[in-house]
């Protein structure tokens, strides 16, 4: 499969439909798999080849959480074929009731917390905008989610009186980030060489690259024009506007 040329994206425009986002064009972590032992190779390749089915969430809840994930961990820059499956990984954790070994005393179980959180998000969308969350524009979806992020739900909802809003948000983000950056395609994006065992690392001093690593090729880009961050940036005074290209693709 032919890779897109990254220098062609150094325009400051939006990034869309990329086979491989990031500053390491053409780098492939799984191309190193011959250097891994078999168990590691199986674990990593399964993350690409064996996406778990949705078993915990109902069809409606899965669609709602998918829309939420699209806003908190957007993949607008990726082609459909290279989307990282965040929702299935999160669903599998809840289906198996896998936890980190502890639970805050003021939080319900993770399974119940997600069900309550989704209920609140849907009710907030319908109360504020008279539409289901999945039907809202990107801007309106982000307004709902930013109010949750800020700990000031707009509109208020009874769920947040039963469950600390900041703990729900932290759990959601931890699950999304963990699912994303445990996937080999995310490793390609950040130039991570994957498991070091049993190969190990050769160059441990002065930040020298390993033979299999690629040089970083930075480029400028803009957030999608309908995103809340982009709209706020356009309205900000010039001295408060950020420089493009200083962040990642998310």
DSSP assignment letter at 5: P
- pLDDT score at 96: 97
pLDDT: which is higher, 197 or 67:
67
Average pLDDT over residues 65-94: 96
Residue 247 has pLDDT above 80, yes or no: no
The mean of the pLDDT values for the chain is: 86
Q: Tell me if 32 sits within 8 A of 194, measured CB to CB.
A: yes
Residue 243 has pLDDT above 50, yes or no: no
Give the tokens for residue 8.
């062609």
Q: Please state the domain extents for the chain.
A: 30-199
CA atoms within 13 A on the CB side of 43: 8
How many CB atoms within 10 Å of residue 246?
8
Average pLDDT over residues 153-180: 97
- SS3 label, residue 79: coil
Average pLDDT over residues 139-159: 97
Q: Tell me if 172 sits within 8 A of 68, measured CB to CB.
A: yes
């Amino acid at each position: 499969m032919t890779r897109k040329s990254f220098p062609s994206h150094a325009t400051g425009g939006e990034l869309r439909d990329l086979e491989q986002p990031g500053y390491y064009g053409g780098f492939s972590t799984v191309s190193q798999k011959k250097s891994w032992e078999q168990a590691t190779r199986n674990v990593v390749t399964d993350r690409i080849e064996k996406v778990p089915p949705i078993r915990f969430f109902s069809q409606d809840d899965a669609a709602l959480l998918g829309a939420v994930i699209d806003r908190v961990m957007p993949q607008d820059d990726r082609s459909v074929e290279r989307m990282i499956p965040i929702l299935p990984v999160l669903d599998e954790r809840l289906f198996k009731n896998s936890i980190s070994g502890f639970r805050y005393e003021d939080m319900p179980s993770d399974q119940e917390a997600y069900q309550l959180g989704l209920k609140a998000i849907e009710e907030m969308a319908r109360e504020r905008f008279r539409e289901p969350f999945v039907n809202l524009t990107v801007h309106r979806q982000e307004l709902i989610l930013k109010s949750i992020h800020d700990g000031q739900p707009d509109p208020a909802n009874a769920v947040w009186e039963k469950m600390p809003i900041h703990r729900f948000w932290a759990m959601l983000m931890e699950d999304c980030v963990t699912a994303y950056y445990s996937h080999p395609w995310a490793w390609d994006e950040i130039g991570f060489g994957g498991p070091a065992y049993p190969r190990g690392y050769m160059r441990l001093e002065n930040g020298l690259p390993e033979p299999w690593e690629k040089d970083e090729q930075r480029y400028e880009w803009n957030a999608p024009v309908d995103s809340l961050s982009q709209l706020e940036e356009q309205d900000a005074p010039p001295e408060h506007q950020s420089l493009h290209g200083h962040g990642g693709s998310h």
